[in-house]
């Protein structure tokens, strides 16, 4: 998979894209993540990529010319399955969405910034808009890193134990059950006996019951229920 990220602040992405699972995926050749500085595509001699909005509203707006130039250059080189814009009014990122995106070959992520982007970009160039929550950030760089992490970790071979990813929260619509490790007792706090029993079927039943209980208590919306 190849992910091209378009941003006005490439330095914000150096750390999250250069360590842990994302770095491992790139080192293995399972994912390629390329960051593009939008200022390299502007026709402004001052490398300007924003301007005042028509109509007099406060704030600055990302211009269409550099965004179009960058996306057009990338599309000349390969086909892209999605051109994603990180926006607070996009679809909320979910695990099923990440699962679907992980099956694609090439995607572009355009990081929003300033007051937003010229709306013609959204009308003619963007194919999908994603939000990571109902709040506003300084720019789309952190959401882009979140999307990349959520997607790349699902690519076969990226995580050593692929079953681990399949048992994460939200994969089956439930929160994950409690997990424990050694020692079995610490300061009088004991691991549930069922996990020490060695009885695989009973352990599986216990994990499902715990996942269901935690979801009902913490995220009843996932079950279509209203909070108490």
- % of the chain beyond a pLDDT of 70: 95
Report the chain's mean pLDDT, rounded to a whole number: 93
What is the per-residue pLDDT for 165? Answer: 58
Q: Which residues of 40-74 are buried (b: 16+ CB within 10 A; e: fewer)?
A: ebbeeeeeebbeebeeeeeeebbbeebbbebbeeb
Res. 170: pLDDT tops 60: yes
What is the per-residue pLDDT for 115? Answer: 87
Do 2-152 and 170-223 have matching folds? no
DSSP conformation letters of 179-196: ---S-SEETTEEPPGGGG
pLDDT average, residue stretch 130-140: 94
Q: What is the pLDDT of residues 136-153, one digit of tens each?
A: 899 999 999 999 999 999
Q: What CA–CA distance (Å, rounded) separates 84 from 125? A: 9
Please state the domain extents for the chain: 2-152, 170-223
What's CA 68's distance to the chain center, in Å? 23
Q: What is the pLDDT of residues 93-111, one digit of tens each?
A: 999 999 999 999 999 999 9
Q: What CA–CA distance (Å, rounded) separates 73 from 191? A: 56
pLDDT average, residue stretch 153-176: 75
pLDDT average, residue stretch 164-189: 82
Q: What is the pLDDT of residues 31-52, one digit of tens each?
A: 999 999 999 999 999 999 999 9
Q: What is the pLDDT of residues 67-94, one digit of tens each?
A: 999 999 999 999 999 999 999 899 999 9
| pLDDT band of 58, cuts 50, 70, 90 | confident
pLDDT average, residue stretch 151-178: 78
What is the per-residue pLDDT for 160? Answer: 75
pLDDT average, residue stretch 201-223: 94
| pLDDT band of 127, cuts 50, 70, 90 | very high
Res. 18: pLDDT tops 80: yes
What is the per-residue pLDDT for 163? Answer: 53
Largest CA distance in the chain: 70
Res. 225: pLDDT tops 90: no
3.30.420.10, 3.40.30.10, 3.90.1170.40, 1.10.1270.20: CATH of 170-223: 1.10.1270.20
Q: Which fold has domain 2-152?
A: Alpha/beta knot (3.40.1280)
27 to 73, 118, 147, 203: CA distances (angstroms): 26, 36, 19, 37
Residues in the chain: 228
């Amino acid at each position: 998979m190849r992910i091209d990220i378009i941003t006005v602040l490439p330095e914000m992405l150096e750390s999250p894209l250069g360590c842990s699972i994302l770095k491992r995926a790139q080192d293995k050749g399972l994912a390629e993540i390329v960051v593009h500085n939008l200022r390299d595509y502007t026709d402004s001699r001052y490398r300007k990529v924003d301007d005042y909005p028509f109509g007099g509203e406060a704030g600055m707006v990302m211009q269409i010319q550099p965004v179009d130039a960058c996306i057009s250059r990338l599309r000349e080189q390969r086909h892209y399955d999605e051109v994603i814009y990180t926006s607070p009014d996009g679809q909320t990122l979910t695990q099923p969405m990440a699962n679907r995106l992980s099956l694609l070959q090439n995607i572009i992520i355009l990081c929003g910034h300033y007051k937003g982007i010229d709306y013609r970009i959204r009308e003619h160039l963007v194919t999908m808009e994603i939000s990571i929550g109902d709040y506003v950030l300084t720019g789309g760089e952190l959401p882009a890193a979140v999307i990349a992490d959520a997607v790349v970790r699902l690519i076969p071979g990226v995580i050593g134990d692929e079953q681990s990813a399949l048992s994460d929260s939200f994969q089956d619509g439930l929160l994950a059950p409690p997990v424990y490790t050694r020692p079995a007792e610490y300061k009088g706090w004991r691991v549930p006996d069922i996990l020490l029993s060695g009885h695989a079927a009973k352990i599986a039943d216990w994990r499902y019951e715990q996942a269901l209980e935690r979801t009902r208590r913490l995220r009843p919306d996932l079950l279509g229920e209203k909070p108490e």
